[in-house]
Structure 1
Amino acid sequence: MNIAIIGAGAGIGLESVILALKKGHIVTALSTNTDHLPNHPNLIKINGSATSLIDLKHAITGSDAVLITVGTKNKKATTLFSDIANALVKVTNDLKFSSPVLVITGFGAGESKNYLSFFMRTVISLFLKDQYINKTVMEEIITKSTMKWEIIRPGMLTNGNAQSTYKTISKLQKGMKVGKISRVDVAQFLITEAENPLRLYQYVALTN
C-alpha cells in the first residue's frame, strides 16, 4: 500500500518509515530534513513543511493512509500543531480525501490531561505545557473535520526496543496508568493500524 508519513525525518516518523519499507509498502516521506532517511526504491522523499498546502498535497495525494508524526523540540508557545491541522483540513477537503489519517498527539492532550499520573502532569506542566495546549487545539480541529481520523496519544516516549506487549487503551477511566512507550512500538501500532484500521474515530492511548 501507499503510506504518506508527515514528519518523517526523526523519532516516530523515522521509525514508521523504516518499518513500512521493511513490510514492503511504498512510502512518501515529508520532512523539513530528510537527511536521516534511508535510500530505498520504495521511498519518495519530500523536503518541505507540514504546514505548507503545496507540500502536504504533494505528499498525501494518492495515499492509502496518512500518518501525522510531527514533533518539535521547541518548548515555548507554538501553533505548529494547530497550523498542521488547519492545513490538513484544507488539503483533504480539496482532494476529497477519504483514506485514514492517523494523528499522533500525546497522552495529556484533550480530556486525557485529567487522567495523567502525578509525575506526567508535573513534567508536562514544567516543560511541555504550551505544546500540549496546542496539541489539544490540533485534536479539536481534526475531530471536527470530515477526515477519517484517528487520534493516537502515546505516553512518555523512549528510544527503547520494541515490546510486543504494549497496551492500547481506547477509554479514559479513573486509575488508568499510561507511562512510557518506545517510539518503535508507536511506529508498530501506526503501520499495523494503517494496514487494517480498527480504531477510526477513536482516541487511543499507548503505553507499555
Structure 2
Amino acid sequence: MIVSALGRGNSVRADGLFTRASAAVLVAAAQTGVSRLVWLSSFGVGHTFDWSSATRKLIYTTLLRSLYADKAIADDGIRSSGLDWTVVLPTKLTNGPAKGTFLADDRLPMKGAPSISRADVAAFMLRAAHGDEWIHRSPVITG
C-alpha cells in the first residue's frame, strides 16, 4: 500500500512536482507489486473545479493554474494506472486539530470557504487505505 500526501506548502509553483512524483510512485508500485494507492490532490482540480464562485474561479485560473494543471495530469495518470487508487480532494487545509467529523462524497456542494484540518485528512486517508469503499473514486472531503 502507498499513501502519498505530497504537497507544495505555501508555494503555488508546480515545477512538475506532482507529475514526476506520480510517475515515480506508479513505477515503484509496479516494481514491488503494490496494488493500493491513496493519493492526496486538491479540491478545485479536475471535476471539482468550481465555476459557481467568482472568487474561486479567479484563484484557480490565475494563482493556482499551473499547480492545479500539474495535479490534474498526475491524478489522471493515477486513475488510468490499473491500481486500486483513491484520489482524495480536500478543501482548504488547516493546521487545526482533528475534529473526527467531516463530510466525504464524490461531489459536495460548497458554500463560503470550506476547510478541513490536515489531521482529519490524514485520518480519512488512513481509513480509505484500509477499506474498499473509496477504491476507484475521488472523494471530496471537507470539515
Match of residue 101 from structure 2: 165
Find the counterpart in structure 1 of residue 22 from structure 2.
85
Structure 1 residue 142: Cα displacement: 0.6
- In structure 2, distance between residues paired with 1:197 and 1:152: 14
Q: Deviations over 1:176-202 (max 9, x none)?
A: 117211111101101122232321000
Question: How far apart, in 1, do the equivalents of 2:49 and 2:62 lie?
Answer: 14
Q: How many residue pairs were aligned?
A: 140
Kindly report which structure 2 residues correspond to 1:1-208, keeping only aligned pairs within 5 A, or say none: 65-73=1-9, 74-98=11-35, 100-114=36-50, 117-171=53-107, 176-177=109-110, 179-208=114-143
TM superposition shift of 1:128: 1.9
User: Rg bigger for which structure?
Assistant: 1
Higher relative contact order, chain-length normalized (CA < 8 Å, sep 6+): 2
Name the amino acid aligned to 1:118: A
Q: Report the Cα distance in structure 1 between the residues aligned to 2:89 and 2:2, rounded to whole angstroms.
A: 16
Residues of 2 paired with 1:191 and 1:77: CA distance? 26
Q: Would the aligned equivalents of 1:108 and 1:116 in 2 still touch at CA under 8 Å?
A: no
Distance in structure 2 (CA, Å) of the matches to 1:135 and 1:141? 10
Do the aligned partners of residues 130 and 108 (structure 1) sit closer, same or farther apart at CA in structure 2, a change above 3 Å counting?
same
After the TM superposition, which segments of 4 or more aligned residues of structure 1 sit over 4 Å from their partners? Answer: none
- Indicate the percent of aligned positions where both proteins have the same amino acid: 24
The aligned amino acid for 2:131 is N
- C-alpha separation in 2, matches of 1:158 and 1:120: 17
Q: What are structure 2's unaligned runs of at least 5 residues?
A: none
TM-score when scaled to structure 1?
0.61
Measure the CA separation in 1 of the matches of 2:52 and 2:96. 22
Normalised TM-score (structure 2): 0.86
Give the RMSD, CA atoms, in angstroms: 1.9
